[in-house]
Structure 1
Amino acid sequence: MPVLINREGGAAKAAGDRLEAQVEAAFDAAGAQADVQMLPADGLADAIERAATEYPRIVIAGGDGTVASAAQLLTGKDVELAILPLGTLNHFARDLEIPTDLAKAAQLAAKGMAKPVDVAEVNGRRFVNNASVGLYPFMVRDREAIQDRKGWPKWLAMVPASWDAVSRLHHHRLRIDMGAGAAPIVTPLLFVGNNRYSLDAGSVGSRETVNDGKLSVYAVSHASRPALLWFGLRAALGLADRGKDFAALGDTEALTVRGHAATIEIALDGEVKQLDLPLKFKIRAGGLRVVQP
């Protein structure tokens, strides 16, 4: 069984040279023989493509960006994806209740059953969690610059990056069409989720399901800097006002976003890309088979 590890992922990088032996031991304990490959992030795609021609199940070890890279290549194929959550946040694995404990995750990867999950797509780029335009791509780009410059961990670098993004607040004038005709919006942040993300207290930012066949759309209303900071605090506590805080809110199977420029910056599962406008989102219902509890 091929186990492809992004050695640059959060937990993988922290574990260092010990990780390969730890993963092999975890699969041995699960009664499976693992072909463990420690790979740089830019070598994962080729390794996944090769493995997909030889094996019915591939194990990917890394974070959300690594899983999204696998989804880009495996969606629509008769190959099962198993996940070892070795990133920093592991949102997708957590929403599927895949254990973060290495021994338990290896046991599931070796013996568990694969079930279909949805994958979202925009202009041919697939994502498993969410896509966003506006504040968040700016925050990610700034965070990465701080990490490179100061060597800070991701969570710490995000603090000054978030403040910088709000201090340079920019609103996007867009037209969005969820199937009922294009509507103009002015928003600092457009968020498109692969299935519905909760806004409720106690479950903010999580999903009950990843196989409902819907995109969730959240466009934050035009706001001043203090109002946006206040919204961010309330949203984190599950106290967002659905009527006042959002210029657009809803579920859809397809979404088109137009703007005045030829291209736009967008974050896909935390990776910043520059894509051509219009942005054409769609959901690939049940397009990826993932091993899960």
Structure 2
Amino acid sequence: MINLTHAMTATAAPPDATFFIALNAGSGHSETDERRSTIETVLRQAGRKFELTMIDEPGTIDDIAARLAQQAADSGGVLVAAGGDGTINAVARQAVAHGCQFGVLPQGTFNYFGRTHGIPEDLSEAVHALLAARVHPVQVGVINDRVFLVNASIGLYPKMLEEREADKKQFGRSRLVAALSALKTLLSPHQRLRLVLQIDGKPQRLRTATFFVGNNRLQMEQIGIPPLSDALEDGRLAAVAPRTKGKLGMLWLMLHGALGRMGRLNQADELTTFSFKQMEVQVRSLSRRRQVKVATDGEITMMDNPLEIHVMDEQLLLLKPEPKPAAAQ
């Protein structure tokens, strides 16, 4: 489903706007140097002005992104994130806060955000696409004042992400490592969540091992719930909670999630699903703890309980390629 409002409000980016690029140096030195060289070569050949800043330490990303976002806002430039979904999220937060245009050079494992918006995964192709892109407003989700572009989750899924990052540092980044890490996490003891939800003002109780809120059409389509992917085009967020209690059922769900393609599910038997614009989530299974572990676009944060989740009024001004015309029949 195409959001016609978004399509009609797409505008051309200024051809002389400077790109302020934040490049995540999380990979090995040789790979990072190659990525930097690729970006610089394409932009110089195009005669485009740019400033490229390396993010060498994860703890510096917010400060670097804020500085570059301010420069972009002051000069009418474009803030650009080069990295995985977590890097894109951190830089996009500053783009929204400063009201500047935003570009993406996806370099992660799954690249849900870039793939959803038709941005090539090949770096050279992505830079060329950025040069010809138009500005499209993109929906942003918020959970307790923290934005998310792809998803937010609590319960078993954040635990799986923590284990996956640790295993990737030891064994390398691949979907096989992600799947085996998910298997290890699932077979370890875990607690089912007792949740009290207020969904657009209506109460609901839920028990689940993990609670997942999606803001990404591609991921919802891979889960196999087309109505929820359509809801994302209508200014809503999508909620998914596995109902299965058995480890075999959870194994199937989490492994497919770790591989980035969950496959089509029998919603009536396996999942609770719904869409919403605003929701409060009270986690009742935390005893006296007042905070809950939340994953947003792959990054883990402790947040106050209850959680407030909604669609942000402001939209992200994303530079993305125009869709290719359909082939004539």
Q: Which TM bucket (shorter chain)?
A: 0.7 to 0.9
For residues 25 and 209 of structure 1, the distance between their equivalents in structure 2, rounded to whole angstroms, comes to 40
Deviates more, 1:222-231 or 1:20-29: 222-231
Match of 2:125 in 1: 104
**Residues 179-231 of structure 1 deviation map (CA, whole Å, 9 limit, x = unaligned):** 24221111011110115553568899x95796531110111104111232345
2:94 pairs, out of 73, 77, 101, with: 73
Q: Post-superposition shift, 1:245?
A: 1.1
How many angstroms apart in 2 are the aligned matches of 1:43 and 1:213?
32
1:160 partner letter: L
> Which of residues 263, 270, 282 in structure 2 aligns to 1:238?
263
Equivalent position of 1:142 in the other structure: 163
> In the alignment, which of 59, 62, 66 is matched to residue 45 of structure 1?
62
* Superposed displacement of residue 123, structure 1: 0.4
SS at match of 1:21: helix
Task: Name the SS of the counterpart of 1:53 in structure 2.
Answer: helix
In the other structure, the counterpart of 2:282 is 258
CA deviation profile, 1:84-142 (whole Å, cap 9, x unmatched): 11222211000000112223221232332111001101001111100111221111111
| Residues 38 and 170 of structure 1, relative CA distance in 2, 3 Å threshold | same
Asked if 1:34 corresponds to 2:40, the answer is: no
Structure 1: gaps (5+ residues): none
SS at match of 1:153: coil
Q: 2:178 aligns with which of 158, 161, 184?
A: 158
Counterparts of 2:221 and 2:230 in 1: how far apart (Å)? Answer: 12
Contact 2:225 2:264 in 1 (8 A): no
Among 137, 140, 144, the alignment partner of 1:116 is: 137
Q: Which amino acid aligns with 1:30?
A: A
**Do structure 1's residue 220 and structure 2's residue 242 form an aligned pair?**
yes
Aligned equivalent of 2:39: 23
Distance (Å, rounded) in 2 between the aligned partners of 1:200 and 1:4: 29
Partner SS for 2:172: coil
Check conservation: 1:30, 1:106, Cα contact below 8 A: no
Say if 1:13 and 1:104 are closer, same or farther in 2 by CA, change over 3 A.
same
Instruction: Give percent identity, aligned residues only.
Output: 26
Range 150-159 or range 128-137, more displaced:
150-159
For 1:161, what is the secondary structure of its paired residue?
Answer: helix
Call closer, same or farther: CA 1:44–1:73 in 2, change over 3 Å. Answer: same
CA separation of 1:256 and 1:36: change in aligned 2, threshold 3 A: same
Report the alpha carbon displacement of residue 160 of structure 1 after superposing the two structures with TM: 3.2
1:21, distance to aligned residue in structure 2 (A): 2.1
Kept after mapping to 2: 8 A contact 1:211/1:286: no
Q: Distance in 1 between matches of 2:162 and 2:279?
A: 25
Residues 291, 240 of structure 1: alpha-carbon distance in 2 compared, 3 angstrom cutoff = same
CA distance in 1: counterparts of 2:256 and 2:65, whole angstroms: 41
Say if 1:190 and 1:61 are closer, same or farther in 2 by CA, change over 3 A: same
Q: 1:280 aligns with which of 284, 292, 308?
A: 308
Does the aligned pair in 1 maintain the 2:109–2:173 contact within 8 Å? no
C-alpha contact (below 8 Å) 2:278/2:309 kept by paired residues: yes
RMSD: 2.7
Conserved? CA contact 1:117–1:210, under 8 Å: no
Q: Secondary structure at the match of 2:87?
A: helix
Structure showing the higher strand proportion among its residues: 1
- Larger % of helix: which? 2
